[in-house]
C-alpha cells in the first residue's frame, strides 16, 4: 500500500514535491494499529509557522519525511479504512493532527468513547494535544461546513481563548487597550471577538496590511484598524497590551519605540510575517515574551478542575461559530495540484483573509 505525501524542504520552503511512501498492507498492520485515509484538512498561515518552528518545537518529527524534507502537520479529518484494534471499526471518523498525505498509520492507545492517542514512538515528546484524535462519527458539529470551521478555526480559537483568559487574569497588565498585529488572521480576530464579548470595555486595535484593512474593518470586532505604515499614528502615552501574531522584529521595534514605556505587555504568538530576528535589541516598555499556551492550559486545568477548560472553551466556541459564515468563505481544494497551489499561496501571503482553505490529496 502506498501513501502520496506532500513534503517541503525544511530549509527552503518554496521547494516542495510529492512522494510515494510505502505503508503496511491492511492485512499486515501491527496489533491495535489503524490505517487512516486522510480525508480533508485545513491550511492556514499557522501551518507555515509549524514549518518555521519545525526543528525547534519538534513538528518535523511527527510525520517523518526523507532527507532534508519535512511533512507539515495539519488539522483535519480521517477515516479508518483498516483496523487491528478491537474497539475501532472500519468507517470511523477521527478529527486531529494529520500529515499532508493520503494515508497515515496510527498506533491506537488510550481508546475511550471520545477519542484515542497515537502511541507511535516518533510522536512522543510533544504536547499531548498533537497526538490526540477525537472520535467524531455521527457528531453533527464535525460534519460538512461545521467540520470545516472546526478544522480551520478551533485549534486557533483555543489560542485566542487562552490569551483572552491570560490578559483578563492579569487585568491587562494595567492597560485597557489591546493592539493585535496580523489582525486579519483567524487567531487574531478570534481574540478580538473574545475581547469584545465581555462586559468590561476593552479598546481593541487591529494592525494589518493596507490590502487587508477593509476585511479587518468588516469583521466588526476591532474598534480601530491601523495599517502597518501608520503605526506612528497610534496614541503615544496610552497604556497598551500588544499581542503579536506577525512576529516581525522590525514591526515590534517600531511599536515599542513609538508607545514606549506605555507598552505594558508584549506577547509573541505568531510568525505570519516570518521576519523574526533572534538577536533583537532591548526595547522600551515591557520585555517581549513568548506566550506559551501549554502553561496556561496546565494552570487552568489545575484551578478549574476536570472539564473546566472544555466547558468554558465550548461555551466560547458556541458563541463564536455562528459569526463565521459572514466572515469566512470556505473553499475546498482537491487533488495534488490544488494542495501545492494553496501551500505556495499561503507561504507567499497570497490568500485573501476572507478565505478558509480545506484541502485533500484525493481528487
Ligand X SMILES: NC(=O)c1ccc[n+]([C@@H]2O[C@H](COP(=O)([O-])OP(=O)(O)OC[C@H]3O[C@@H](n4cnc5c(N)ncnc54)[C@H](OP(=O)(O)O)[C@@H]3O)[C@@H](O)[C@H]2O)c1
Residues in the site for ligand X, rule: CB under 6 A? 44-46, 49, 156, 159, 182-187, 208-209, 212, 245-246, 269-273, 293, 348-349, 353
Residue nearer to ligand X on the CB measure, 83 or 272 = 272
Write down the least CB distance from residue 298 to ligand X, Å. Answer: 14
Q: Of 235, 185, 234, whose CA–CA distance to 209 is shortest? A: 185
The position carrying cell 499532508 is: 100
Question: Which run of H or E residues covers position 152?
Answer: helix 144-169
Write down the least CB distance from residue 36 to ligand X, Å. Answer: 24
Order across the sheet with 240-244: list the strands: 224-227, 203-208, 177-180, 240-244, 263-268, 289-290
Buried b (16+ CB within 10 A) or exposed e, 73-101: bbbbbbebebbbbeebeeebbbbbbbbbb
Residue nearer to ligand X on the CB measure, 23 or 339 = 339
Coil, strand or helix at 313? helix
Write down the least CB distance from residue 363 to ligand X, Å. Answer: 25
Torsion angle of the four alpha carbons 128, 129, 135, 139, in this order, in degrees rounded to the nearest 10: 160
Question: How far apart (Å, rounded) are the C-alpha atoms in residues 60 and 54?
Answer: 5
Write down the least CB distance from residue 276 to ligand X, Å. Answer: 10
Write down the least CB distance from residue 33 to ligand X, Å. Answer: 30
Residue nearer to ligand X on the CB measure, 275 or 314 = 275
Residue nearer to ligand X on the CB measure, 141 or 297 = 297
Residue nearer to ligand X on the CB measure, 280 or 295 = 295
Amino acid at each position: 500500500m502506498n501513501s502520496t505525501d506532500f513534503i517541503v524542504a525544511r530549509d527552503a520552503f518554496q521547494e516542495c514535491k510529492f512522494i510515494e511512501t510505502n505503508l503496511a498492507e491492511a492485512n499486515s498492520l501491527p496489533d491495535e494499529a489503524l490505517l487512516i485515509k486522510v480525508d480533508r484538512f485545513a491550511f492556514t498561515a499557522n501551518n507555515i509557522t509549524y514549518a518555521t518552528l519545525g526543528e525547534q518545537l519538534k513538528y518535523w518529527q511527527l510525520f517523518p519525511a526523507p532527507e532534508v524534507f519535512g511533512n507539515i502537520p495539519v488539522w483535519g479529518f480521517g477515516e479508518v479504512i483498516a483496523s487491528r484494534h478491537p474497539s475501532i471499526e472500519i468507517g470511523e471518523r477521527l478529527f486531529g493532527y494529520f500529515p499532508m498525505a493520503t494515508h497515515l498509520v496510527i498506533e491506537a492507545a488510550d481508546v475511550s468513547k471520545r477519542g484515542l492517542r497515537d502511541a507511535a514512538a516518533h510522536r512522543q515528546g510533544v504536547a499531548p494535544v498533537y497526538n490526540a484524535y477525537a472520535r467524531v462519527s455521527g457528531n453533527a458539529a464535525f460534519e460538512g461546513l461545521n467540520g470545516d470551521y472546526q478544522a480551520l478555526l478551533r485549534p486557533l480559537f483555543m489560542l485566542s481563548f487562552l490569551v483572552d483568559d491570560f490578559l483578563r487574569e492579569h487585568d491587562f497588565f494595567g492597560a485597557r487597550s489591546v493592539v493585535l498585529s496580523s489582525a486579519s488572521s483567524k487567531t487574531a480576530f478570534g481574540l478580538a471577538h473574545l475581547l469584545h464579548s465581555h462586559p468590561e470595555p476593552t479598546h481593541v486595535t487591529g494592525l494589518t496590511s493596507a490590502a487587508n484593512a477593509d476585511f479587518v474593518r468588516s469583521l466588526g470586532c476591532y474598534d480601530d484598524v491601523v495599517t502597518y505604515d501608520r503605526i506612528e499614528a497610534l496614541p503615544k502615552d496610552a497604556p497598551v497590551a500588544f499581542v503579536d501574531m506577525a512576529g516581525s522584529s522590525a514591526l515590534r521595534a517600531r511599536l515599542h519605540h513609538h508607545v514606549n514605556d506605555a507598552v505594558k505587555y508584549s506577547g509573541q504568538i505568531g510568525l505570519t510575517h516570518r521576519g523574526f530576528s533572534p538577536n533583537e535589541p532591548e526595547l522600551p516598555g515591557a520585555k517581549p515574551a513568548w506566550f506559551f499556551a501549554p502553561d496556561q492550559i496546565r494552570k487552568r486545568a489545575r484551578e478549574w478542575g476536570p472539564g473546566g477548560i472544555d466547558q468554558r472553551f465550548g461555551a466560547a466556541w458556541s458563541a463564536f461559530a455562528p459569526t463565521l459564515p459572514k466572515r469566512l468563505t470556505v473553499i475546498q481544494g482537491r487533488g495534488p495540484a490544488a494542495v501545492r497551489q494553496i501551500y505556495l499561496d499561503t507561504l507567499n501571503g497570497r490568500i485573501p483573509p476572507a478565505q478558509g482553505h480545506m484541502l485533500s490529496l484525493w481528487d
